[in-house]
Amino acid sequence: MTEVVPPTSAPPRRAGGATFGGVDRPPAARGAGPAPGPDYAAVHASAAFTGLRRRFRRFVFPVTGLFLAWYLTYVLLAAYAPDLMATRVAGSITVGLLLGLGQFATTLLITLAYTRWARTRLDPLAAEVRAAAEEAP
């Protein structure tokens, strides 16, 4: 059986070598530690953060539910109404193809709507919560 023997001293440092952010130095040489940050428990419990989270959920949950219902409808139509999905609209373009492309279009529209909504209604509240968290002792 092989026995592992730990080194008796630290390897010598090269001049100008990397220090890896000071993690290779003992704790006393690193300083007092990081500056204290915001009190996240207090931020989470604040009325402003609760309002921000409520506003976010009022948009995201209904839109997600509607999109999932739309997607499930598409899948169920593909599985149980193949004749409808195979109906030709023009040339070789079928109802199934149009509905499938509609899934991509819906995803793009939801993304654009969310970014616009978040920029105007969510970001200002988030900035207020952030400012209050940075000002708190």
Tell me if 106 is assigned to some domain: yes
Q: Which of 3-7, 40-44, 51-55, 72-76 has the lowest mean pLDDT?
A: 3-7
Question: What CA dihedral angle connects 14, 17, 20 and 22, to 10 degrees?
Answer: 70
Residue scoring higher pLDDT (32 or 101) = 101
Identify the pLDDT of residue 89. 95
Residue scoring higher pLDDT (105 or 133) = 105
Q: Which of 8-22, 55-69, 88-102 has the lowest mean pLDDT?
A: 8-22
Residue scoring higher pLDDT (85 or 135) = 85
126 pLDDT higher than 80: yes
The tokens describing 45, both together, are: 């419990």
Helices 123-135 and 47-80, packing angle to 10 deg: 140
31 pLDDT higher than 60: no
DSSP annotation of 125: H
Identify the pLDDT of residue 34. 62
Whole-model pTM: value is 0.67
Identify the pLDDT of residue 119. 95
Residues with Cβ within 8 Å of 134's Cβ and at least 6 positions away in sequence, in order, are 38
Count of domains observed in the chain: 1
Tell me if 28 is assigned to some domain: no
CA distance 19 to 25: 8
Domain range holding 53? 40-135
Tell me if 58 is assigned to some domain: yes
Mean pLDDT across 111-127: 94
- Between the alpha carbon of residue 79 and those of residues 49, 58, 70, 86, the distances in Å are 44, 32, 14, 12
Tell me if 5 is assigned to some domain: no
8 pLDDT higher than 80: no
Identify the pLDDT of residue 39. 81
Tell me if 93 is assigned to some domain: yes
The tokens describing 30, both together, are: 């690193």
